[in-house]
Structure 1
């Protein structure tokens, strides 16, 4: 491979084509990107900041890039303005550009317009392109973006499973399970498909699943006949097993398996355990377990079993192939039907659009918007992402830079494809590398160079070469000294046991912290140290060992919060609150660590009936608070009354426990709000998450960090990429990850390929790719340290399996010796016992004094805020708590809708039902009613509410009904905001006068300015007139007679609904004035309907309805008062 040129930040020409910049660990990739943006703005004055596209992979990286680029531009502007600067690069750049006025003008403009800088994630870029060019890309305007499509994936898996295994014969299903085809495995397969949409599945065609199943049944029938004839000879063969080895040598065990085989053949359905014996008696298995020098037994039954094993493998492969076809087809179809897209679809849709008819025009349009592209973290690209940028920029004069480090390509499990980088490198004409390490001490840089320079093909791919890096100019300004002296910066410990590693690492950390070590002028503290692990389990083991020595730690983990101990405890607590009469559940809750009772406490309280009753009453109170005020209020009260915070913090890992508890509380509260969960619904939802159902792997469900101040960081290698630490321990770098089922096929342009017919045929390729990935992880781990890195080399690892063994040897001792930069030593003994941190100096903190003035009259106002200072009126039902009614006829004397529960939650439930119902056709109304009532925990009222919905649809409103309006002429829940200026109740009273019945004397509010905000329940049009409706669920009495016109008018005045009517009339008037070009108030303004849902009857239209249309003069006067 041709050696890459060194990329010079000042001198290397950016050019007008594609270039690839390889940025090894610590060489300043983000710094380089920021400097490239600066150079582009200076060297090309016609280029503006909004034309330079910068993409990366995560929101966090995007924010960092945005901040670093902005800061670089600010520093450059100061330098070009002549301000003092010690930045040698900027001083040279200023000397190279003599026209400082033009440079200053350009940089000022870039900073002024920096919010328009297109610095996006790759998905964000694709989403914007698809939205801005919907026609060119054939994208639906209103498609919903799925932030998490796991529920859809699970649905597809479950449907496939039901189709194939819930009906039909049992035997093929058992054979599939025996072949490890489970819903869990299929879910993994469909996730792989979404991450790798261009995955090639081979062979393209299989025999039909049903045909193979039929042949298995036929072969089993033949096996039954053979068994009947040969049964005795098989028992004789395994009576004497001197010829055998392994399991087959155990005569008693083999006779047991023969019994299982007989059961399997006698019962056509069989079981998984019985089917295992067919594999044991296959010819290949028997011959494999025949001792060397012995004649390999031949038997008709063995041959039949071999046939079944082969057919089972074929059946499983065919089933997997059918699933991949089904999954691809169903993903497309269901997303199209539901008009949804996922983040992965953003990429594939843009790629497909660029490949399709009009793709050249679309590419030209994108280039016209983004004149330059800088692609960050390019080593983590995939075929679709590279295809997008290649089609946009390849062959054009627009500069595009691909920046990344293939040696750090470690995210294959997320869909990243290092072979795409390799292909791109081949196609990119100009290739460069960054050569200076700005992270690590010079001797540590030299040590890493020596390790990875030992083999020319250290990374196994010709296109990924290790180029020795030179230390930065200031590499040794702040050295690590131990007792005032330098030590070798790279320590290699030799070991053969994994179990002892956490304890030895913890001991060495304690020793190092107690050795008066310094970094520059700073004392070495726990916050300077990180331990890298390969798995979450390894990380947890290290944390336990450090905690045992009182070393503060923080664990960066991707473990799921619902798999934590606190999730189990919270479920026990909530179960007791939901059923406060169940003493068994209450005892279980009290014995959690969160409440802290012991067995002795329980025994003592159970003997004192009075004290025990007090405790039971507390749980009853928690139950009532949850019922009346909601989940989060209950949990706060429970945590306060039981001192949960203090109790959890008393444990050695108290900060972790409290963080988990609060995180779970937040997630449960969000679920309550989003899904309208009642008490049992919360318990059910929590149980589903703990069982690992699809939504349990969302990013927000990962364990959060407890405070990481002054703590040793424990983190996996994957999460450590892009980070740096002063001192790093890598005790598990010898560990080997699993080998993937797919491989990159050199005969198919290195596309990711899954061969279902014969996995062993490509075993060498798959193992080589796994080893290459391990080498890259090894490189990432060893390049995180700034001052010292300690790794463990384990004896006996195989070079073809382990990156550590490949680079350092796999014998009894590593193939590397002590030197000035590297110290090789046996794993040290665990001598250090406990860490004693020095006393902390208390800091005196003083709050800043705010001397400004806040305009408290300006803000967002609403009808509710205006009436918040009114005289108390307890007849306002919508603010009352829910009163529970068990059924229309039980518990209360009233009937029908009058017996429906009262209060805000019940009212909200009715509002949501009506909002979703389509009045001109009630085909799905029953399903909406049932779902909403169930979500709010209201049972027994489905028929009642459905009857109320029908009545509402056919209720006469003037000379028409809602059933006569069309869905396209209705807008539910329209939000409005219009400006108001020094609006007062006095001004309102002057305008309304005697024209509107409103007791202004009961309404007092301070002058308000800003915006009037609200939601109109429904706006609709009928025969060119526009009306609005406000639904009211107020309970006025036990039957229809309580809702006559006079009672409704009194309710309107008592609760200031007339004021609401005025505010909403102004909103509708202003809305129509803007949205309807030919708007005329007299012709188009229809007024308001206030409909009291409990008091309507189509046969008595005067009941339950208040209609009012303000005149034009009043509406316009009100509008002027607000202005």
Structure 2
């Protein structure tokens, strides 16, 4: 029986999905010449694309060099078995296919979904009346902020818009909130970029501002009506109490009359969660001390009070719904206006937001015949691979269906259909907020909601190849145990059946749970920081394997706190914040220089520049004070930077000049390179200009970042979302106490009767627990959303606990009530529940271990070799007059001076005689040493360091300072060529070329005086003349 061409692989964490995808891909391209041209493989990140491409090409290369099954990889053997090919045939085909792909690499289509949709839109740009060269906008926040700012600036021009915005500001003031409406409009404007809200917002697209204002008036009227109903019922209750000569004290704890009195006085901020309210119909109303006659009166009135209480409950439900909807009406009123501003901005700049891609395809392209789309693309795909399918949005999946359906339904010349391979895991769906729908994959794997005629073959990848045995065992057991807290049966079953992974051959592994007592701690960040530090020292006491450790956090806030704490404790870290370009003090210094160009009189900017330049120097304050008002002179005299010249350059050239003059990049500096790349990008898009760049920088500096280096011996700190798909030898999961039901200002759309709400069929409301009181439909929607929240929280926990290969450390909160009960609505409660189920929980125990702990060996990660910074800046004046005749006529004197300066520079990189060759190699690579003079320069430097009188000052074990600044008491800056320290004694050495000069002596005496002021004893002062003969002069 033939297998279905539609395959779904259910791939739990670490189950070898990349291996499976690569195998299926290879099977197609090794049985069909040029088959890779008919395959479209889609995934979600550029990193995943690179990994898949590399895996395919490396596998083909390895196959092409495999001449015997005894030396074959498992993948080779799998492919050979399934294709039933001879070793030599498979080897030959792999070599030919590899060569074909490399020669036609553009047809090797492994891409992100966003890139593919981008390509589709580019293809149809003319049809869609979109500029062919449109720029893709990735930063929606920047675009939205600009649109909202432009809209607010229109207040006063458009009367209707002005009325809306002014009323909104006044309402906020009345509610004791800031009058600033910008944040509210940005918040509601964010819905325009979210796929989850697209369909609902389309219904609002035809509504005018006047329609919204009418709805607002209606809501306001009905809110007042609900208040009147509650007030009337409360007054009736109080009158009954008075008519029957009852006192407040006659009621149990006076609850009921006080409640009614509050409402009668206009207090509508009420809830019905109190026990007496929930049991109102059944529990007695009277206080225990009441006499029998009073009890009889209260019992006789109980039904009347219940009716009034019920009226208030019903009116309050309506009141709460109307109030909830009213809060979003004004922002929604201007939503169409915000959208129009966004559209105008994009048209002005030939831009298109990436968030619009799927919508455009859904509306304009997907309904075109598939052959027509293929023809326009210039490709015809017959085989589709979609990785991480659980994170595919509904619209993305719907957009791909026509193309996939065409491939599955059609036959090639050999009578074969196309194919579809989906790979995913519902338990790792953690991007619902970005449009991902876990339920979509869940329905497909269970045989529901299949859009194709062909039924899928669902395969479970059962073995975990990532983690060691104890970690696999723990996760299987833990998630099966806590699955009972998922209230939706299908989600419950998912975690029961999906956590039966088979172990691989890797024995060992360790899992540790630790519970911290937060109750009496002022600084929780320090508490968790110390726990993490202890764990790192336990795992890697020598700090030789930091690169094998990853700390996972739920929020960036916790990541920042841990990064600061660990850095203060001398632990190297790589985190989101440390990778920001703006985290480099050199970058911030260069930005300050740019600000100084445009704001030369700003003392704060001048201080920032001097603060950077004086860092690590003695008498730092005196230096800053002395030059704060003569900064131009200081920069020119000390560093050779002419600010007037820098202002005439482009931003890029000016910054590169500054990098050179301040020697900011003796080696390659990725932060500086990234800054220059950013400058170049802005200059190309928005034009040159300091102010233009600074405006861009101020908006984007908190987002511009480097990619994390693959090889670095530093502890990584990242969010769980960013860690998805990755694995690490050791994982530490602190702050492991997420509230499963925590809502981040979520909104939901509630269906309503259009006749009751001026033609509006849905209302946007905040997702609060009170929604359960809004009626059956609202309660059903709320419960459904709550169950999704449970799944998302469990999925997030699953991703966090399945990244580890060798050891997993969970650091949570000891959250337990005085009666020993745990809180299962938090992660800590789930951990404690598990330990209780296993009979391990002890309220006095802090740490629980599973498996055998072993320390890490030294990491194999190595930092890449440093490459010298490459300068492209050239001093390009229109013309210049050379004062030195030798520069024109190449006299011996000028050549000697140039070579003397070169030797002086090279010696600044030499501390001992062993440094000479490295320094020569460095300057030779930079092109500073002409090849024809290289040997002469080497000989001169070797003569200096080996000179009998100078040799003692270049030996090992001395403390040497080359070219280091000294600030005198008067604030003067001195820079001796070389200082050699032995105890409290110091020798001063200066290098000169040519004949002696009395000023040289004076210069050394100045150095000596400054050093003696610092408390040193100047033992020797030496001038070294580097002419044909090396001549040291002791003065």
Provide the TM-score with structure 1 as the length reference. Answer: 0.56
Gaps of 5+ in 1: 1-12, 226-240, 252-276, 480-487, 517-522, 650-654, 691-695, 748-752, 830-834, 848-864, 876-1123
Distance 1:356 1:66 in 2: 31
Change beyond 3 A, Cα 1:170–1:417: same
Which of 99, 117, 121 in structure 2 is aligned with 1:126? 117
Which of 505, 509, 512 in structure 2 is aligned with 1:491? 512
Distance 1:195 1:582 in 2: 42
For residues 382-426 of structure 1, the C-alpha deviation after alignment (integer angstroms, 9 at most, x for no partner) is 011111233322462421011112211112233322233234332
Change beyond 3 A, Cα 1:283–1:563: farther
8 A Cα contact 2:38 2:383, kept in partner? yes
Cα offset for 1:307? Answer: 11
Which of 712, 722, 726 in structure 2 is aligned with 1:723? 726
Cα offset for 1:40? Answer: 2.2
- The within-5 A match list for 1:767-846 is 767-796=786-815, 802=825, 804-805=827-828, 807-809=830-832, 815-816=837-838, 826=846
**Corresponding residue for residue 652 of structure 1:** none
Aligned residues between the structures: 755
Distance 2:552 2:513 in 1: 15
Change beyond 3 A, Cα 1:574–1:828: farther
Change beyond 3 A, Cα 1:153–1:384: same
For residues 793-852 of structure 1, the C-alpha deviation after alignment (integer angstroms, 9 at most, x for no partner) is 3233898874625643469x7544559xx99951599xxxxx9999999999999xxxxx
- The within-5 A match list for 1:443-842 is 443-456=470-483, 462=490, 464-465=494-495, 466-471=497-502, 473-476=504-507, 489-497=510-518, 498-499=524-525, 500-514=527-541, 525-557=545-577, 561=581, 572-580=592-600, 585-591=605-611, 593=612, 595-596=614-615, 601-603=620-622, 606=625, 614-615=633-634, 621-636=641-656, 638=658, 663-664=674-675, 666-668=677-679, 670-672=681-683, 674-689=685-700, 697=703, 701-702=704-705, 705=708, 709-736=712-739, 738-739=743-744, 741-742=746-747, 756-757=764-765, 759=767, 760=771, 761=778, 762-796=781-815, 802=825, 804-805=827-828, 807-809=830-832, 815-816=837-838, 826=846
Distance 1:118 1:168 in 2: 50
Q: Secondary structure at the match of 1:416?
A: coil
Distance 1:326 1:222 in 2: 31
Which of 367, 380, 401 in structure 2 is aligned with 1:356? 367
Which of 60, 63, 81 in structure 2 is aligned with 1:76? 63
**Corresponding residue for residue 380 of structure 2:** 369
8 A Cα contact 1:577 1:622, kept in partner? no
Change beyond 3 A, Cα 1:165–1:614: same
Matched, 1:30 2:27: no
8 A Cα contact 1:742 1:766, kept in partner? no
Distance 2:591 2:788 in 1: 43
Matched, 1:91 2:88: no
For residues 874-920 of structure 1, the C-alpha deviation after alignment (integer angstroms, 9 at most, x for no partner) is 89xxxxxxxxxxxxxxxxxxxxxxxxxxxxxxxxxxxxxxxxxxxxx
Cα offset for 1:284? Answer: 3.5
Distance 2:629 2:120 in 1: 69
Change beyond 3 A, Cα 1:356–1:842: closer
Which of 94, 99, 113 in structure 2 is aligned with 1:107? 94
8 A Cα contact 2:475 2:802, kept in partner? yes
Q: Secondary structure at the match of 2:481?
A: coil
**Corresponding residue for residue 1066 of structure 1:** none
Change beyond 3 A, Cα 1:808–1:640: same
For residues 1057-1113 of structure 1, the C-alpha deviation after alignment (integer angstroms, 9 at most, x for no partner) is xxxxxxxxxxxxxxxxxxxxxxxxxxxxxxxxxxxxxxxxxxxxxxxxxxxxxxxxx
- The within-5 A match list for 1:286-305 is none
Distance 2:863 2:216 in 1: 76
**Corresponding residue for residue 48 of structure 2:** 61
For residues 703-753 of structure 1, the C-alpha deviation after alignment (integer angstroms, 9 at most, x for no partner) is 654796211111111111111111111112322364462569999xxxxx9
8 A Cα contact 2:216 2:329, kept in partner? no
**Corresponding residue for residue 1038 of structure 1:** none
Distance 1:838 1:456 in 2: 38
Distance 1:839 1:589 in 2: 39
Provide the TM-score with structure 2 as the length reference. Answer: 0.60
**Larger relative CO (CA 8 A, sep 6+): 1 or 2?**
2
For residues 324-383 of structure 1, the C-alpha deviation after alignment (integer angstroms, 9 at most, x for no partner) is 555667767876797654434443333335653546864899898111111111111001
Distance 1:766 1:757 in 2: 13
Matched, 1:175 2:176: no
Distance 2:606 2:670 in 1: 24
Change beyond 3 A, Cα 1:559–1:594: same
Q: Secondary structure at the match of 1:531?
A: strand
**Corresponding residue for residue 1099 of structure 1:** none
Gaps of 5+ in 2: 229-247, 278-284, 287-304, 410-416, 519-523, 753-760, 772-777, 850-854, 868-873, 882-1035
Cα offset for 1:679? Answer: 3.9
For residues 523-556 of structure 1, the C-alpha deviation after alignment (integer angstroms, 9 at most, x for no partner) is 9621221111111221122223322332222214
Distance 1:746 1:29 in 2: 41
8 A Cα contact 1:373 1:399, kept in partner? yes
Change beyond 3 A, Cα 1:473–1:705: closer
8 A Cα contact 2:42 2:110, kept in partner? yes
Q: Secondary structure at the match of 2:490?
A: coil
Distance 2:603 2:145 in 1: 38
- The within-5 A match list for 1:38-57 is 38-42=26-30, 44-45=31-32, 48-57=35-44
Change beyond 3 A, Cα 1:588–1:120: closer
Change beyond 3 A, Cα 1:824–1:65: farther
Change beyond 3 A, Cα 1:740–1:391: farther
Cα offset for 1:602? Answer: 3.6
Distance 1:608 1:366 in 2: 63
**Corresponding residue for residue 7 of structure 2:** 19
RMSD of the TM alignment (CA)? 5.9
Distance 1:838 1:368 in 2: 49
Q: Secondary structure at the match of 2:805?
A: strand
Change beyond 3 A, Cα 1:366–1:743: farther
Distance 2:862 2:332 in 1: 66
Change beyond 3 A, Cα 1:129–1:537: closer
Change beyond 3 A, Cα 1:214–1:17: same
Change beyond 3 A, Cα 1:434–1:596: same
Distance 1:332 1:609 in 2: 47
Change beyond 3 A, Cα 1:328–1:105: farther
Change beyond 3 A, Cα 1:688–1:384: closer
Distance 1:197 1:632 in 2: 42
**Corresponding residue for residue 283 of structure 1:** 268
**Corresponding residue for residue 911 of structure 1:** none
8 A Cα contact 1:202 1:754, kept in partner? no
